[in-house]
Amino acid sequence: MALFNRKSPTAPATTATLPVDPALAALSGDYTIDPTHSAIGFTVRHAMVTNVRGSFTGHEGTLHLDGLDPAKSTAAIDIRIESIDTGMADRDGHLRGGDFFDAEQFPHMTFRSTRAEQLGGDAYRIVGDLTIKDVTKPLSIDLEFNGSATDVYGNQRVGFEGGAEILRSDWGLTWNAALETGGVMVSDKVKLSFDISAIKSA
């Protein structure tokens, strides 16, 4: 089911209107991300030998799905830096501080979509601007549409999951420490993960 802009390299250059998928059209509307059933996480290599995983437990966002004109679909997410959680209080405090995110001066990171496309089947790519510490860079997120359902409370839900990779240095997150055996304490590459459940507005 195409939720976003479908690639059609062989489509003729006309302005003819394509048939509307009734199931897709029924999903059109505004959605609010449900933070209690969603997760935004990250994985980063530590000391060259293992991975540290964490998440941002404080986040909110909206989606607009347009089944009649999927290219108009959008996404916006705000993440509270203070909510970072890696399971170790001292490490979380360091990440919130000036060496990394500087949460006191820059309390949020944000994502605002600029375009989206279907890669095939239920696979999509959404592209937008990620802002961290007042630095804005493009970010492409590959997503899988998990489907839609009506929950036990009568809410219409849609679900997506996916991920992306970034270099943290592109956003000014450059702190590191050299290891005696060679290499560095924290890798530049960070893997991001998204597991999103969103509720359609009444």
* Residue closest to 129 by CA, chosen among 140, 143, 142, 118: 140
**Angle subtended at Cα 168 by Cα 162 and Cα 169, rounded to the nearest 5 degrees:** 150
* Ranges of the chain with pLDDT below 50: 5-18
Q: 85-110, pLDDT tens digit by residue? A: 999 999 999 999 999 999 999 999 99
| Mean pLDDT of all residues belonging to the chain | 89
The residue with tokens 């999903």 is 27
Q: HSE, CB side, 13 Å, CA atoms: give it for residue 6.
A: 18
Q: Give the pLDDT of residue 7.
A: 43
Buried b (16+ CB within 10 A) or exposed e, 113-130: beebbbeeeeebbbebeb
Q: Give the pLDDT of residue 23.
A: 73
Q: pTM (2 decimals)?
A: 0.87
- Residue 191 in 3-state DSSP? strand
3-state SS string for 81-125: HHHEECCCHHHHHHHHCCCCCCCCCCCEEEEEEEEEEEEECCEEE
Q: Give the pLDDT of residue 6.
A: 43
Q: Give the pLDDT of residue 40.
A: 98
Q: Give the pLDDT of residue 170.
A: 98
Q: Give the pLDDT of residue 202.
A: 79
User: What is the bridge-based pairing of β-strands 135-150 and 50-56?
Assistant: unpaired
Nearest-Å Rg of the Cα atoms of the chain is 19
Contact criterion met (CB below 8 Å) for 131 and 113: no
Q: What is the DSSP string of 31-51?
A: EEE-GGG-EEEEEEEETTTEE
Token pair of 128 as six digits: 């937008």
Write the burial class of residue 43 (CB in 10 Å: 0-12 exposed, 13-18 middle, 19+ buried): middle
